Structure 1
Amino acid sequence: MSFGPPASRPLLLLTAFFGGAALADDLFVDSQALPQVLTATRLKQSPAAVPGSMTVLDSALIRASGARDIPELLRLVPGMMIGYGAGNQPSVNYHGSNANDARRMQVLIDGRSVYRAGLATVDWSDIPLAMEDIERIEVFRGPNTVSYGANALMAVVNILTRKPVDSQGTRLKVTRGQRGINDWYASQGSGWDGGDLRLSLSGMQDDGFDQTRNGQDYRDSRRLNRLNLSVSHSLASNQSLDWQFAAKEGSNQRPYTYQPVFYGVTASGDNSDAKAKDYAGSVRWNIDLNPDHSLYLQGSAQHWDRQQVWRACDAALSFSPELTRLWQLNPNYAEQVARNIRSPIPRGSTDEQMLGRQVQQQWRNGGSSQVCGDIDQSTRETRYDLELQDTFSLSDNLRLVSGANYRYDRADSQTFFNGSLDDSTWRLFGHLEWRADEHWIVQGGAMYEDARLSGSSLTPRLAVNYLITPRHGLRAVYSEAVRSPDMFENNVNWSYRVNNLRPGAFGQNSAQYFVKTRGPGDLEQERMRSRELGYNGYFADADLSVDLKLFYDEITGMISEPLRNNQYIASNSNKARFSGSEAQLDWRLTPADRWRLTYAHVDAWASNPADRRLSAHNSGSAGWLRDWGRGWSSALFYYGDDELNQYRFERVDLRVAKQLRWQRTQLELAGVVQQRLDDEPTTFADNRYDSRHVVYFSAELEF
């Protein structure tokens, strides 16, 4: 008895599971065009040929989700963990990490990185891009330093915007709802001989979480306005020029969290809200030399500006020159003296005890009085990026993509860097795809990167894909990846000059706070080794896509220390392991019905417990999209995580929409209900809502 070639047996099992001779026929006979993705290797590839796991969120799914921002949309990606520090501070991690610091994922908008190298973060709330301008999001689920350099350690999120040629006409949209939701969007697209343009303006506003665990109001509302301009020119039959400009301004409330060091001093003070202004521009020149050879040159510039001035109160002794010297001599001893200022001086060296007695005497001589002053925690970051990429088909079965990249980063902050700090990075990358025959694909790539502040690295990737048919493939992947320590981790020079002291401290109206932190300056790169086995298949007759993945990832040299000005000593002393499985299924059951399921099982271990706090053991989503006819449609989604920072998360979202048409004019009215199924905080104990549900409505007009 024979069941076909050994490599085809997994597909036959899937055929048996989903049923029907139609699937069996489709498995080996299929004349439809293959879908393609770009993010994995920078080459256009069918999903079955990709050296890794991909999730594609298309425009229909984005609209049906009703998501107002990108982090909420990424709940549809298996293995993606979404947490919140506050209502306007989402944290997005793949497989998990520290709940506060999402530092190990590359995020791109049309190929332009929005990962901030200065403070190692992605400001998800402040990305200058409206949801309505997104065409699709491609997520490479796994390390991809080979294609995108350091910081693509665990995943790559590539946000692709709508092309101007596909954005003709006028779109107007307003959204209103509970929790202060107040969004708007307006765009105008036009074209001319040899060019197209899209200009969009948008705004977003909400109130964030309602209250803390103590029932106090939570200062975490956000307000922002955005501008996006995208233009495409046809220079010749084989050349085009695309350029974009984006700007954003807004404000994010921040809860007042300062805790005085000295006993008996109250924690009164004003808010620490942040005002944000972002600017980004890029130009890309595309050249098709011939059908088998193309290249592009892209340059971009970005600027992030965060103004954050807040008022804090502590004892006048906080600005003592003697306490400052004691901190520099021994931070642990200085903190022990400060927090137990009324107790006998602890044992220490002669110099430590001498300074400790002087500090204690200053406390008795008026240093215990409370003073308040302004703290300026503003930051500015600037980036210039230039990239050249060449794509060449060497033969019918051999393709090569290669290129070079130069990036310059600068961070300015009197608080964090005592001025400014800059870094420059060079990269050389290449990926070779060899189709040995109609079934076997061997792929290899490498990235060489040299950064002035963190040194050089070489990261490889090797993958073997076996195509049972062009739409069904098995894969085995080994890859290495790195994450460079950011400027803050490695080179922080953290100190506070407090201005407008009332009353003055030691006869000064402006003084340095005694706590000062310096980065080690010699941190090495984090390193990951990743192994993956997977299957990707598409059954055309059933319109069913399936992706399965088994993974084992190890990170060494992990930098896990929290970003705070309190004996902060960063090191490469930690490590972590992530293993498990993932599955995603997208099934267009009928022309009117689409089902989508995702699931991830993650076993996380880390030497530092904080690095596994945002790792849910089991997580996933389920969605049902339905076109009811006569302009009516609905989408029902379930999202669940069994443990995010020790809190469970379960939510059901329902979106119902009605479309009305008059000739070339279309009006869509939609309502969204989000219902929490659990009664737990979101990520942290202070993140609570008054109600477990929220409702908002939108009206969108196109003509």
Structure 2
Amino acid sequence: MFSKSSPFFDALRHRGRTFWAAALFIPCFAATASAPGDREEAIFLDDIPVVLSASRLSQPINEAPVAVTVIDHQMIRDSGAWDLSEIFRLVPGMYVAYHADPYFSADSTVAYHGMVTTTTSDRMQVLIDGRSVYAGLFGGVNWNDLPIVIADIERIEVVRGPDSASYGANSYLGVINIITRHAAESQGGSVSLTGGRSRSEGVFRYGGKSGDLSYRITASLRKDNGEDDYIHNPTSQNTFWTLNKFDNKTMQIFNLRTDYQINASDTLEFQFGFNGGPREVGEYKNVSAITRQAENHFEMLNWRRALDGDGELAIKAFHTSEKVDATLRDSDGISDGDIRFNRFDLEVQHTFSPFQDGRLVWGGSVRYDKTYAPYYLGVGDNQYLYGEFPFHLQRLFGNLEWRVRPDVIINTGAMLEHNSYTGNDVTPRIAANWHVTPEHTFRISHSRATRSPSVYEKVYEAYWRGPDFYPALPELRPERVQSTEIGYMGKVGKADIDFRIFYDDYHDLIDVRKAASAASGNLNAGRALMRGYELQLKAPMSDKTRIIYGLSGGGVKSDNINGVIYSDSLPKYNHSLMLSHTFSESWQGSLVAYQIAKTKFNATDYNPTQNRGYYIDGNRRLDGRLNRQFLLAGKHAEVTLVVQNMLNAHYFEYRHDNEFPGRLARLNFKLDF
């Protein structure tokens, strides 16, 4: 994949010498310092959850090198979430805005630690079963276009902090890994019907088994009329600011998963998913779709071989295809809004123990993306920019876990990348976890991470560097961050506590949308310093009652160069509280409350004459869920009532033309057979 004379290896020799040397030589030192038989058993509690996503190694959560929030299947049910994106309101430090994108996909914004200058939230990696769904055109994730049904999700692991050492560029602020249920865990059939204000859905699922082959098929049809047509509390009587976006949508989803146990050592997993249907997009007197039809599908093959000593060899290959057929209306008339995107990815990963008390995961991957979007990528009169835009990526990675002694664990690793946009990069990390007692653990870590330019940003760079503008403009560089955190995980009584403080230094932040950025001579001029804290608490108040609480806050300081606003983009506080209770074997209920302080976003929303400033006011919201389970003709059945925004609050999220709907109630009936 690489030759020793390639620029990739030149980067190894010349970038980040001190930090990278430490990350490389700690494993060598560990191999000589740890002799067989001189270690005691590891110290951890039986009820500590195991996470898979932080370092690519299966680890107790209090031995992971970075903070992780685990959202299990029951939490997903208790949340009453309708959209997948809503679930992340439960994650400390996460900002979620309902259907915030007015132009491209009328989709939600999910962003970690503020830093939201566009609705696409392009600074966080999102995986489904380890498959990247990070979009190529603008970055970020189109949540409503994912070929997945919430009921098929086993759990979600959210890495709260940069994780480029494990997942490369674009794991800049954090990583979301959505893990679906094994086919063997979804046997039998079920049908689910949901109806409510502006929403309806039908889901059919069937799982079976033939010998050593397990399979599951899921099909659903969902209709969502999105936001209310009119804004209830407009900040201006200008017609533009009294109307919500065009965001009605229909989603047809089909998903297939098979898991085949070839022999005692080898397993083969295959997945196929499809999501399609008509989608509205746009807003009053701006870009809007006359017709817009979206179709997305993927195929993934994952082979694993169990090796001696708990080792594993895995090969994963997947293909993703995104297709949009659209006719758009804007100020210039009628335009072709078609989009085509294809991704091909192959990854090999090997896990083994190189020495006693050490585990190492290492591997590599290659990726090829191809994007076609003439409306979004045809900038100005530069017709040569129309066409298909390729992107090539190669990676090598490694992460070592070394148990120095029973109560001290060192995690160190790095990702080496080469891509066709910005060349070579090395993103290392080192972390130490100390079990002061089995119930109390401290963690300190330092890491570096990057974000590569999106296709849109790369095309705009070419536009600004054209002969009519600034041909001497330097080439785009990846965005960079240096992150340091101190964390604590402990058990006080029956309560599990996760607390961390962090300091992140973001620099080389990209802005290609403002002419002032190009005129300044540097599209990578942005910088921001972020300090903050996060608290997560899970506690059983009794055998039948559970409480889950999240709190985060902090501040961002920036020079806000060229009018790109980063200062104070992290809310002063953000609360979430889930209370779930089992009344009896048949009845179960939950209440979920959210509160967020006022938040500052990009200056494009600033207009004092219309009584709108940089800030979006703080808001509160209360959701409720009541579930009744019973037998119907000898089969398990349940009825669930969900009411979101029970207090009927009308508030804005992200922009002053993005008002959350009022009270939304829906009723669900589910029957297993």
- 1:612–1:669: structure 2 CA closer, same or farther, 3 Å change rule? farther
Deviation at 1:119, TM superposition (A): 2.1
Deviation at 1:256, TM superposition (A): 3.8
Tell me the residue number matched to 1:633. 588
- Does the 8 A contact of 2:641 with 2:665 survive in 1? yes
Tell me the residue number matched to 1:219. 246
Q: 1:230 aligns with which of 257, 264, 271?
A: 257
Q: 1:170 aligns with which of 181, 186, 189?
A: 189
Q: 1:187 aligns with which of 201, 205, 214?
A: 205
Tell me the residue number matched to 1:547. 498
Higher mean C-alpha deviation, range 519-528 or range 390-399: 519-528
- Does the 8 A contact of 1:167 with 1:198 survive in 2? yes
* Separation in structure 1 between the aligned mates of residue 591 and residue 192 of structure 2, nearest angstrom: 22
Tell me the residue number matched to 1:378. 338
* Separation in structure 2 between the aligned mates of residue 622 and residue 278 of structure 1, nearest angstrom: 35
2:409 aligned with 1:441, yes or no?
yes
Q: 1:85 aligns with which of 83, 95, 100?
A: 100
Any idea what SS the aligned residue of 1:73 has?
Answer: helix
Any idea what SS the aligned residue of 2:475 has?
Answer: coil
2:658 aligned with 1:687, yes or no?
yes
* Separation in structure 2 between the aligned mates of residue 439 and residue 658 of structure 1, nearest angstrom: 45
Q: Could you say which structure has the larger radius of gyration?
A: 1
Matches within 5 A, 1:431-510: 431-492=399-460
2:226 aligned with 1:208, yes or no?
yes
Deviation at 1:202, TM superposition (A): 1.2
Deviation at 1:640, TM superposition (A): 1.2
Tell me the residue number matched to 2:18. none
* Separation in structure 1 between the aligned mates of residue 278 and residue 140 of structure 2, nearest angstrom: 18
- Does the 8 A contact of 2:43 with 2:435 survive in 1? no
One-letter amino acid of the counterpart of residue 54, structure 2: A
- Does the 8 A contact of 1:52 with 1:142 survive in 2? yes
What percentage of residue pairs aligned between the two structures are identical? 30
Deviation at 1:220, TM superposition (A): 1.4
Tell me the residue number matched to 1:674. 644
Any idea what SS the aligned residue of 1:522 has?
Answer: coil
* Separation in structure 1 between the aligned mates of residue 503 and residue 554 of structure 2, nearest angstrom: 10
How many residues were matched structurally? 586
- 1:617–1:665: structure 2 CA closer, same or farther, 3 Å change rule? same
Q: 2:362 aligns with which of 382, 394, 402?
A: 402
- Does the 8 A contact of 1:423 with 1:451 survive in 2? yes
Tell me the residue number matched to 2:380. none
Tell me the residue number matched to 1:616. 571
Deviation at 1:312, TM superposition (A): 3.6
* Separation in structure 2 between the aligned mates of residue 630 and residue 293 of structure 1, nearest angstrom: 42
- Does the 8 A contact of 1:652 with 1:674 survive in 2? yes
One-letter amino acid of the counterpart of residue 405, structure 1: S
Any idea what SS the aligned residue of 1:615 has?
Answer: coil
* Separation in structure 2 between the aligned mates of residue 666 and residue 517 of structure 1, nearest angstrom: 67
One-letter amino acid of the counterpart of residue 309, structure 2: P
- Does the 8 A contact of 1:182 with 1:205 survive in 2? yes
Higher mean C-alpha deviation, range 215-224 or range 585-594: 215-224
2:140 aligned with 1:116, yes or no?
no
Deviation at 1:606, TM superposition (A): 3.0
Q: 2:544 aligns with which of 578, 592, 600?
A: 592
Tell me the residue number matched to 1:414. 374
- 1:33–1:598: structure 2 CA closer, same or farther, 3 Å change rule? closer
Deviation at 1:216, TM superposition (A): 3.7
Deviations 1:491-543 (A, max 9, x none): 34999xxxxxxxxxxxxxxxxxxx9999978200111000000011246xx54
Any idea what SS the aligned residue of 1:100 has?
Answer: coil
Any idea what SS the aligned residue of 2:55 has?
Answer: coil
Deviation at 1:377, TM superposition (A): 2.3
Deviations 1:407-451 (A, max 9, x none): 111111233140011011110000111111111111111110000
- 1:615–1:249: structure 2 CA closer, same or farther, 3 Å change rule? same
Structure 1 gap ranges (5+): 1-27, 260-268, 315-372, 496-514
* Separation in structure 2 between the aligned mates of residue 563 and residue 108 of structure 1, nearest angstrom: 31
- Does the 8 A contact of 1:490 with 1:520 survive in 2? no
Deviation at 1:99, TM superposition (A): 4.6
Any idea what SS the aligned residue of 1:51 has?
Answer: coil
Tell me the residue number matched to 1:352. none
Tell me the residue number matched to 2:630. 660
- 1:216–1:292: structure 2 CA closer, same or farther, 3 Å change rule? closer
Tell me the residue number matched to 1:274. 292
Aligned-pair Cα RMSD in Å: 2.7
- Does the 8 A contact of 1:517 with 1:565 survive in 2? no
Q: Give TM-score scaled by structure 1 length.
A: 0.79
* Separation in structure 2 between the aligned mates of residue 30 and residue 457 of structure 1, nearest angstrom: 36
* Separation in structure 2 between the aligned mates of residue 146 and residue 282 of structure 1, nearest angstrom: 24
- Does the 8 A contact of 2:101 with 2:109 survive in 1? no
* Separation in structure 1 between the aligned mates of residue 474 and residue 136 of structure 2, nearest angstrom: 15
Tell me the residue number matched to 2:17. none
Deviation at 1:272, TM superposition (A): 4.8
- Does the 8 A contact of 1:143 with 1:479 survive in 2? yes
Higher mean C-alpha deviation, range 554-563 or range 136-145: 554-563
Matches within 5 A, 1:499-578: 522-538=475-491, 542-562=493-513, 571-578=523-530
Deviation at 1:306, TM superposition (A): 1.9
* Separation in structure 2 between the aligned mates of residue 51 and residue 686 of structure 1, nearest angstrom: 40
* Separation in structure 2 between the aligned mates of residue 70 and residue 44 of structure 1, nearest angstrom: 25
- Does the 8 A contact of 2:413 with 2:428 survive in 1? yes
Deviations 1:622-662 (A, max 9, x none): 11000000410110010111123422221000101100025
- 1:559–1:519: structure 2 CA closer, same or farther, 3 Å change rule? farther
Tell me the residue number matched to 1:348. none
* Separation in structure 1 between the aligned mates of residue 124 and residue 300 of structure 2, nearest angstrom: 22
- 1:683–1:118: structure 2 CA closer, same or farther, 3 Å change rule? closer
* Separation in structure 2 between the aligned mates of residue 695 and residue 522 of structure 1, nearest angstrom: 51
- Does the 8 A contact of 2:476 with 2:524 survive in 1? yes
* Separation in structure 2 between the aligned mates of residue 565 and residue 311 of structure 1, nearest angstrom: 28
Deviations 1:59-102 (A, max 9, x none): 00101111012211000000001124258421111001215230
Tell me the residue number matched to 1:63. 77
2:57 aligned with 1:43, yes or no?
yes
Tell me the residue number matched to 2:322. 304
Deviations 1:333-383 (A, max 9, x none): xxxxxxxxxxxxxxxxxxxxxxxxxxxxxxxxxxxxxxxx42012211110
2:180 aligned with 1:149, yes or no?
no
One-letter amino acid of the counterpart of residue 57, structure 2: L
- 1:223–1:567: structure 2 CA closer, same or farther, 3 Å change rule? farther
Deviation at 1:612, TM superposition (A): 4.9
Any idea what SS the aligned residue of 1:236 has?
Answer: coil
* Separation in structure 1 between the aligned mates of residue 214 and residue 347 of structure 2, nearest angstrom: 24
* Separation in structure 2 between the aligned mates of residue 614 and residue 249 of structure 1, nearest angstrom: 34
Q: Give TM-score scaled by structure 2 length.
A: 0.82
One-letter amino acid of the counterpart of residue 388, structure 1: V
* Separation in structure 1 between the aligned mates of residue 515 and residue 253 of structure 2, nearest angstrom: 31
- Does the 8 A contact of 2:461 with 2:475 survive in 1? no
Tell me the residue number matched to 1:19. none
* Separation in structure 2 between the aligned mates of residue 296 and residue 426 of structure 1, nearest angstrom: 17
* Separation in structure 2 between the aligned mates of residue 453 and residue 682 of structure 1, nearest angstrom: 33
